Amino acid sequence: MSKTTPATLALTKAGIAFELFPYDYDPDAPRVGLQAAQALGKASEQVFKTLMTLADGKPACVIVPSDCEVSMKKLAAALGAKSAQMMKPADAERLTGYKVGGVSPFGQRKSVPTVMDETAILFDQVLINGGQRGLLLGVAPDEAVRAAGASLADLTA
């Protein structure tokens, strides 16, 4: 596994400190984020998943705790849209340059509006995908928001 990804390069370029958390990725896990939290011995609410969505048909990135579901209604409101839905996996891979299961909000091919669940600020460090399956990055929440160009909002159902 490479420890250098577009995500780690983007954080390094932005001068943002991060910690690498490699783990054994299980492609058959029903919920990859929960499997990652368990593999690392971390609380599931501290491990955040990155999802690609469409808000009024336009791409957006959403970062939420791995043990939660996104409220599409709250996401749409946070983005000033009327509706939101999940993006098709193939479209997410093409847009971000990452494989599903390894999508990071950092270092994506194209910058899109990004929203992070407000519970991130409850932690000194949150774990977010590092740009490949089996690699999470530990980042201070305020730095993650800055690096992703994200806003904070209540996003969970």
Using one digit for the tens of pLDDT, what is the confidence trace for 84-113?
Answer: 999 999 999 999 999 999 999 999 999 999
Q: What is the DSSP letter of 87?
A: P
Task: State which H helix or E strand residue 91 sits in.
Answer: helix 89-96
In this prediction, residue 1 carries a pLDDT of: 61
In this prediction, residue 31 carries a pLDDT of: 83
Whether pLDDT at 2 is above 80 = no
In this prediction, residue 3 carries a pLDDT of: 83
Using one digit for the tens of pLDDT, what is the confidence trace for 5-21?
Answer: 999 999 999 999 999 99
In 12-132, DSSP assigns E strands to 19-22, 47-55, 58-65, 84-86, 114-117, 126-132
In terms of CATH, what superfamily is 6-153? YbaK/aminoacyl-tRNA synthetase-associated domain (3.90.960.10)
8 Å CB contact between 64 and 48 = yes
Whether pLDDT at 76 is above 80 = yes
Please give the model's pTM, rounded to 2 decimal places. Answer: 0.94
